[in-house]
Amino acid sequence: MPTAPDAPAAGTLADGLLGQVAEQLGRPLPACLQEAFQRVPRHRFLPDRIWLRDGSGGYRPVDRTTDPADWLAAAYTDQPLVTHFTGGLPSSSASMPSMVARMLLLAGLTEPNGPDQAPLRVLELGAGTGFNAGLLCILAGDEQVTTIDLDPDLAATAQENLKRVGRAPTVVAADGAGGWPPGAPYDVVLATFSVDHIPPKWLTGLRPAGGRIVTPWTSAWCSYGTLELTATEGGQAHGRFHSFASFMPMARPHAKSHPPTTTPAGDDSAAFSATGLSPWAVAGGDLDAEFHIGLTVPGASYSWDTSGDHAHTRLQIQDPATGSWATVDYDGRTAAEFAVTQAGSRRLWDEVTAAYRRWEELGRPSVDSYGLTVTAGATVMWAGSPASPVAES
């Protein structure tokens, strides 16, 4: 299909973007992926207003009509761009191009296809702006690509964006958790949102013995990492995590949200103790430790309270599903001991402490050391090898 007419500067800007991506990855992209980035101009998939991180934890808008140069430059910078807010929070974005490239490489879509092999069938979960689907069309062929999005408006916008640049994959408004059975089996299932488990229908829609799933990963504790799974016989799959990507979680229709767990000072079930384990060790930005805790302490999340209302600095841990909570307080003077309060059916700080000590016993493995095996009856997370399981669901 022909490529739609484009701004004269887009080709030069795309070259610059490819240079940024190569620098981030430490090597140039394969020629076929470079071609895809050249033939699918990123700015054609962006709304007139986008939002960039402002460096202070928030976002600043960039409007094409009032600041076209800044808007176009942002389109070809290796950074994520928020394209939609829901309830004051980012709900859709144009992913960081180097992240997109990493995932396409993991999916095997840049590897040469033998002359006797059928074209790869690809299911993308989370159409977003349509940009990633456009790249997939170049790599696999329009007729081989299906992209779905839960939001009908986003799906329609993605389809229109793709049409404008001459691409025509199958675009469907549907729940990503259910895959898309009419197009199965797929050689590749590629998610553009993060999940904390592999939905069963992703596996049943995958080509047995060799089909791949690539998806960002999340947990209540730590949203980080990308999982690459390869299907084996009998509906099973096996693969490893990789140290990159932090994506928005999978949206679900009619999902019920749990209200925040409160930490009432007079809770009769509260237990008081002290700990020598620093709260910053488990929630201070060590992604390897936090990833392990997220895998092994399901449902537990944390936040920091620096208001000074209760302590100089407080780590708050909660599990809304059970109403359990814990706090770890730093008094502003000594980092040798911290006051702990726990309440509810789960002793969350005890669980987090046990998970951290286990991570230390394992030799402080990095995210890349972990893997996941899906069988008919269970999902097992492991560190190093399947012989060293750390969690099961």
Q: Which of these, 265, 220, 214, 207, lies nearest to 242 by C-alpha position?
A: 214
Please indicate, yes or no, whether residues 236 and 283 belong to a single structural domain of this protein.
no
CATH of the domain at 34: 3.40.50.150
So what's the pLDDT on residue 60? 93
Q: What is the pTM of this model?
A: 0.91
149: containing domain: 10-242
Q: What is the mean pLDDT of each run of 10 residues along the chain (393 residues)?
A: 49 92 96 96 95 90 94 94 86 89 94 69 96 97 97 95 97 96 96 94 93 96 96 91 83 57 59 97 97 98 95 97 97 95 97 98 97 92 96 93
Please indicate, yes or no, whether residues 35 and 100 belong to a single structural domain of this protein.
yes
C-alpha span between 360 and 357 (Å, rounded): 5
So what's the pLDDT on residue 116? 56
So what's the pLDDT on residue 252? 61
Q: What tokens does 113 get? A: 């296809």
So what's the pLDDT on residue 2? 37
Phi, psi of 171 (to 5 degrees): -115, 130
Contact 349, 317 (CB under 8 A): yes
Please indicate, yes or no, whether residues 279 and 227 belong to a single structural domain of this protein.
no
Please indicate, yes or no, whether residues 290 and 355 belong to a single structural domain of this protein.
yes
Q: Which of these, 172, 115, 162, 175, lies nearest to 136 by C-alpha position?
A: 162
Annotated catalytic residue within 92, 93, 95, 219: 95
Number of domains comprising the chain: 2
Place of tokens 């000594």: 334
Please indicate, yes or no, whether residues 280 and 137 belong to a single structural domain of this protein.
no
DSSP lists the bridge partners of residue 390 as: none
Place of tokens 């170049």: 138
Is position 341 within any domain? Answer: yes
Active site residue 273: no
CATH of the domain at 297: 3.30.310
Q: 300 CB contacts (<8 Å, ≥6 apart)? A: 220, 221, 293, 317, 318, 319, 346, 348, 351, 352
Is position 249 within any domain? Answer: no
Please indicate, yes or no, whether residues 34 and 142 belong to a single structural domain of this protein.
yes
So what's the pLDDT on residue 5? 39
Measured in Å, how far apart are the chain's first and last C-alpha atoms? 46
Please indicate, yes or no, whether residues 146 and 236 belong to a single structural domain of this protein.
yes
Please indicate, yes or no, whether residues 92 and 234 belong to a single structural domain of this protein.
yes
Please indicate, yes or no, whether residues 232 and 310 belong to a single structural domain of this protein.
no
Phi, psi of 50 (to 5 degrees): -125, 165
Please indicate, yes or no, whether residues 86 and 204 belong to a single structural domain of this protein.
yes
Please indicate, yes or no, whether residues 66 and 192 belong to a single structural domain of this protein.
yes
Please indicate, yes or no, whether residues 234 and 299 belong to a single structural domain of this protein.
no
C-alpha span between 105 and 381 (Å, rounded): 23
Q: 338 CB contacts (<8 Å, ≥6 apart)? A: 274, 275, 276, 277, 278, 279, 328, 329, 330
| Enclosing H/E stretch for 195 | none
Is position 339 within any domain? Answer: yes
